Copies of this chain bind each other. A is one copy, B any other.
Amino acid sequence: MGELNHKQPIYPPIILPSPMILVYSLGGSILAGRDAESLKGYAHALKELAEEHQVFVVVGGGKIAREYIAKARALAASEAFCDLLGIGATKMNAMLLIAALGRAAAPEPAESYAGALSASAGGKIVVLGGMAPGQTTDAVAALLAEYVGADRLIVATSVEGVYSADPEIDPGAKKFDKMTAKDLVRLAMETEMKAGSRSPVDPLAAKILERSRIPAAVVYGGEVENLKRGAEGGHSGTEIS
């Protein structure tokens, strides 16, 4: 299952089309805590990519989502209600990224997949938040990638890629250089079945990659350079094919 790797990979090794349609999933941990200067860096990278490619970005909820959800849970709100609060947080983060992107972005977060596609006319970067309770923003990004016919999905997370086990718990965990979507589905489901552990890519997102054969990269989002590497090659995360 997958190919374990110990040296620096140069992925993807295959010839990529250009321009590409790219969908990014930027986890809440990537954007939400950053200061304006750092956000500018991410926006700069996305704008450079958008000069050549068509770029869509789905952003997560991060710290603000966690804080509001924690309070709502303590107030006995349902989990579905908490999901809606989390979606509210992703829209705030999406608006902040739009602020950083300025005129390079469509002026408001897209509210539907068709809306995202329409808003991309003229080369605008389209930013989205969460769409529905019960779905992570990774899943939204995978669905959007399907919908717009993306050439690649880049999942920028807080870890270095997909591991054979949770690296924070198991020091022997190995990072996969590459793996099939089918293996990713299996790994994600097995991980989610264990109490308290979370997969870097949620099972639904993995299944969508599998059903639509969309090439994807799971990269460490803490380094802004990985946005470009995830799209055009040279990243040290995990390549899903």
Contacts and interface: CB of A to CB of B under 8 A. Distances in A.
A137 B161 CA distance: 32
A170 B203 CA distance: 26
A201 to B, nearest CB: 14
Contact of A99 (B77, B106, B108): B77
Given A35-B71, A143-B133, A92 B95 contact: no
A208 B107 contact: no
Interface string A168-204: 0000000000000000011001001100000000011
A89 to B, nearest CB: 7
Copies in the assembly, this chain: 6
A16 interface: no
Contacts of A75: 36, 39-40, 43, 96, 99-100, 102
Interface residues of A, number: 64
A99 B89 CA distance: 16
Interface in A77-102: 77-81, 83-85, 88-89, 91-92, 95-96, 99-100, 102
A139 interface: yes
A95 B78 CA distance: 12
Interface string A134-156: 11000100111011010000000
B68 A84 contact: no
B68 A92 contact: yes
Interface stretch (A7-15, A118-126, A217-225, A227-235): A118-126
Given A71-B99, A81-B147, A203-B203, 12 more contacts: A40-B75, A71-B96, A75-B99, A80-B208, A83-B143, A88-B88, A92-B92, A106-B118, A107-B113, A134-B135, A134-B143, A134-B204
Counting from the closest, the 5 A-B pairs by CB-CB distance are A132-B132, A36-B74, A77-B99, A108-B114, A80-B146
A5 interface: no
Contacts of A134: 135, 139, 142-143, 204, 208
A85 B78 contact: no
Contacts of A204: 134, 204
Contact of A92 (B89, B189, B211): B89
A121 B78 CA distance: 19
